[in-house]
Amino acid sequence: MQIFLRFVSDPGFQIGVGKDEGVHRTTVSKTVKIVLTKIMEKSHLWIRFTTNNEAHQQWSSKYQFPCAIGVIDCTHIRITKPSQHGDEYCNRKGYCSLNVQATCNANEEFTSIDAQWPGSVHDSRILKRSMVCAQMNNMRQNFLLLGDSGYGITPWLMTPYRNPQTHEEITFNTLFTRERVIIERCFGQLKRRFPILQYMVRIKLDRVASVIVSCAVLHNISKYLHDNMHDDDEQENIADEQELVDEENDLDLDENLRRRGLQRREEIKNLINQLQL
């Protein structure tokens, strides 16, 4: 574990890790593989997406957005260009990456993470094909997630008003933005804890997803142990994501689903403004 932690705190140079730990580069490589396997075997115990009352109560004990159980967003993790289908991994900023979708709860713990998609794939397409979408669609309760305007609005996925005109819409967006930023703090903490995710993951593509998920597991364990960072309030710089946020979503929503989502947003907007009075 010491070798693995040194590996993920480094931009990914196994030779340097070996020198620091007094082992050969081959030992570093084998050790990283073993630790990755062991962490992935336990990942389902530490990263769990739930749509029950407990998740809602946890959120409402700290935050105010009605019926919320978490936040959803994506972040790009740099990788070396794959030899096959490399252009698919080139994102809008011109570098190769995986577009990683995650959800988090009120405790800033990751509740789901999907790290299999090339950087060129849009956030809303990842959501549409994810376990999170399936679970929320089959949910019996009336809970919801908060997402940015790059997603399509549904009854279970709230997005902000793109051009708020009234005082009520501005109040809605203010509360929405204040609480949605939690996922950016989670991404920021994850990348500061494990700088390999901030710079570049220099290993074979088939193991990159395991590294990302393993770091998310260790992040959650740190939260469980109350091993908080001194700069927890710092969030990820989302400037690179802004073009995606401003783009029209491609969820291919049917009009009825979209209409129900818009109607629910109006209801929540009115409720928020009543509570503000």
Name residue 3's amino acid: I
The answer to whether 124 and 225 have CB atoms below 8 angstroms apart is no
Q: Give CA–CA dist 73/113, Å, rounded.
A: 10
> Sign of the C-alpha dihedral, residues 260, 266, 268, 270?
negative
User: What single-letter DSSP state applies at residue 248?
Assistant: P
Answer with the residue of higher pLDDT: 277 or 47. Answer: 47
Average pLDDT over the chain, rounded to whole? 88
% the chain with pLDDT above 70 = 90
In the predicted model, is pLDDT for residue 27 greater than 50?
yes
- Work out the pLDDT band at 236, boundaries 50, 70, 90: low
Mean pLDDT of 38-67: 95
Whole-angstrom Cα distance, residue 6 to residue 273?
49
Residue 247 has pLDDT above 50, yes or no: no
pLDDT confidence tier of residue 13, bands split at 50, 70 and 90: confident
Q: pTM for the complete prediction?
A: 0.89
Point out the least confidently predicted range of 58-67, 159-168, 234-243: 234-243
Residues 6 or more apart whose Cβ sits within 8 Å of residue 30:
none
Evaluate if residue 252 carries a pLDDT over 60. Answer: no
3-class SS at 146? strand
- 11 versus 96: the higher-pLDDT residue is 96
Residue 246: per-residue pLDDT: 42
Of 34-48, 63-77, 240-254, the one with minimum mean pLDDT is 240-254
Cα separation values, 33 from 14, 99, 162, Å: 12, 23, 45
Return the closest-CA partner of residue 216 out of 109, 106, 133, 130.
Answer: 109
Angle, vertex CA 192, rays to CA 186 and CA 197, nearest 5: 90
Averaged pLDDT, 53-67? 94
pLDDT tens, residue by residue, 165-207: 999 999 999 999 999 999 999 999 999 999 999 999 988 899 9
Task: Report the alpha-carbon angle 188-192-194, nearest 5.
Answer: 120
More confident residue, 84 or 16: 84
Confidence class of residue 230 from pLDDT cuts 50, 70 and 90? Answer: low
Place of tokens 């972040």: 75
Task: Using the predicted structure, report yes or no on whether residue 238 has a pLDDT greater than 60.
Answer: no
Lowest mean pLDDT among 9-18, 27-36, 163-172, 220-229: 9-18
Q: 120 versus 237: which is more confidently predicted?
A: 120
* pLDDT tens profile 258-271: 999 999 999 999 99
CA dist., res. 231 & res. 258, Å (int): 39
